Structure 1
Amino acid sequence: MSIDEKRPWTQNRRFEFIEWKLFWEGVLNRSDLEDTFDISTPQASVDLRRYREFAGDSIEYDGTTRAFRPTANMKPSFLKVSADRLLIQLRALLTGALPRNEVWFRNLPPIDMAPDIVRHVDPNCLRRILDAIRTKRCVDVRYQSLTNSRTRQIAPHALAFDGYRWHVRAWACDRDDFRDFVLTRIDHIRPGAPADFDPADDIEWNTKIELDLRPHSGLTHEQSLAIQRDYSMTDGRRKIEVRLSMAYYFIMRMNLDLPDLPPARAQICLHNLGEVQRAIRDAKAEAKARVEQRSGGSERS
């Protein structure tokens, strides 16, 4: 049996589960398969037999504990091993976004997280936003900004998460430009007219740039080494590709625009901050020029 052999998706999923249990918990019982997938004892036995035929000496049976355990030769073929994925699942479990049965630990390790202020998006609002993106239509929204609340017409074309809040990226019909609108600040929404804009003109959204992150220059050598390890840096730097429209949020979230922060608090710096800021300004200017050209340079209200 080879990994390329066609088999039902459900069996591949159970094979993935077998490897998950062996890799992350170091033990697998037949009852784990039965309880998780609601299958019979004979079916679980068939799955284990077939998996052992495939995996060879990657798995062994411990007669003392009546459980299967991984050997030193274990090489997962159905499981994509990712610590990041597991930790994201645990976080989602803590926030209630993922049910307990989706996390395959028989006994969860003790876990907790610092309080997170959850911003709940109205499902009807999100549904209408998604429909507007799909059908390329405007929506009329009552939007609460930091200065006032008023009705606006926007033409959504994308969704974006800044690390804390979800935004809708949209053409602002009253301003003739592309902007981000925080979804939780929309308290009323209704369908509008067909949209008259081209998402290709949103240069900030469609352009990506590399952020050149480095340890803060004020850190000691030992501190710098710790930060390089924290951020998985190579040769003292970490490059991250990001949309120009999202770079602003990343810079603000990481305090990369505050040069007076103490080095131990700042930890990292954006080596090409000036380049990124110029790219954002240029993108805004290019988008404005393209919109004016498309509309024939008509007067803006």
Structure 2
Amino acid sequence: MTSELSGYQKELLAHIEFIGRFYGVVSRADLVKRFDISEASATRTFQLYHSIAPDNLIYRPNIRRYEWQDNASPVIEVSINKCLSTLTDGFGDSFAHATDNPFAVKNSLFHVNLDILAGITRAIKRKYPITINYLSKSSPQGATRQIVPHSIADSGLRWHVRAFDRKRNEFRDFVINRVSALSPCKSHEILPHEERAVDDAWNTIVELELQPHPRLGKVATMIEFEYQMVSGILKKRIRQALAGYLLDSWNIDSSPDASLTGQHILLHLKNSQQLNFSSKRLAPGIHGYGV
């Protein structure tokens, strides 16, 4: 039936489905705000969606919103990259056009599982824990963990969920594509020490001072221009929990003495000796320095 819809109708329905699927609840006000349409038009759009997928959304009078069901099946084809960019940069088109011929391409080894991602983002928005089956080096077949997610982040190589791990009793990063199964724990309360506000590594901002690698003096000017440096330095403010991933993904030599070599290493962390945080162990050149 969706093939008979106009492009505008698909955009309206895609927005309903996106909000419901990734945030857990959706209302007419979401359509009114996004598309500047009347309440009556928004009502008709929800009626249209219900005629296509009657079991995906259930209206909850106590919160005056439609709730996305955990066993719902999306009906609008979506672009994974667009969903991810929408979650990070705001709303735009969220359904995939078969005739699209993009001229800008983001290289990626794999895509994130949207069903798992949606289960995580619903838990974040509606504030409840989730139980996951998580694959790791110590448990390659997976092990059950109960986590309290509060944010998702692109490390530069893959997507992570930042969450309180009830097994380890600490905040940790989980690779989303290592989650093979997920179930919500809506009846479980989030405890004060599990909330985002007390995740120090997430809430602390560090400033990285990046310079052209000292061994590349002959092309330092080129590197400064490419990275838009000011007085030979690129200052990057980033959450402490994510800093190690950035240093790793960009091959930034973080050794205090700038000792690394290789054509792939163009940058050096100038203020390495002044910075000490747990994710720094991921950075090139740190192994053996006791961080």
Would the TM-score normalized by the shorter structure come out above 0.5?
A: yes
Aligned twin of 1:137: 128
Aligned twin of 2:232: 236
Cα distance in structure 2, aligned partners of 1:273 and 1:229: 22
Q: How far 1:260 moved relative to its partner? A: 3.9
Aligned twin of 1:296: none
Q: How far 1:114 moved relative to its partner? A: 8.6
1:189 paired with 2:182, answer yes
More helix as a share of residues: 1
Aligned twin of 2:45: none
Aligned twin of 2:113: 121
After superposition, the Cα gap between the structure-2 partners of 1:122 and 1:272, relative to the gap in structure 1 and judged at 3 Å, is same
- The one-character-per-residue Cα deviations of 1:90-128 (angstroms, maximum 9, x if unpaired) are xxxxxxx9758778xxxx8xx5869531233142x2222
Structure whose CA Rg is larger: 1
1:180 paired with 2:208, answer no
Aligned twin of 2:265: 266
Gaps of 5+ in 2: 1-84, 86-94, 280-291
Cα distance in structure 2, aligned partners of 1:113 and 1:261: 31
Q: How far 1:180 moved relative to its partner? A: 0.6
Cα distance in structure 2, aligned partners of 1:271 and 1:186: 36
Equivalent positions of 1:60-209 (< 5 A) are: 99=97, 116-123=108-115, 125-148=116-139, 149-192=142-185, 193-196=188-191, 197-209=194-206
1:169, 1:179 within 8 Å by CA — same for their partners in 2?
Answer: yes
Amino acid across the alignment from 2:176: L
Cα distance in structure 2, aligned partners of 1:231 and 1:99: 34
1:206, 1:243 within 8 Å by CA — same for their partners in 2?
Answer: yes
1:122, 1:184 within 8 Å by CA — same for their partners in 2?
Answer: no
Gaps of 5+ in 1: 1-87, 89-96, 282-301
Report the count of equivalent residues: 179
Amino acid across the alignment from 1:172: D
Cα distance in structure 2, aligned partners of 1:112 and 1:129: 28
1:214 paired with 2:173, answer no
SS in 1 for 2:129: strand
Identity of aligned residues (%): 29
TM-score normalized by the length of structure 1: 0.53
Cα distance in structure 1, aligned partners of 2:262 and 2:120: 42
After superposition, the Cα gap between the structure-2 partners of 1:114 and 1:207, relative to the gap in structure 1 and judged at 3 Å, is closer
1:213, 1:239 within 8 Å by CA — same for their partners in 2?
Answer: yes
Amino acid across the alignment from 2:151: A
Amino acid across the alignment from 1:118: F
1:138, 1:154 within 8 Å by CA — same for their partners in 2?
Answer: yes
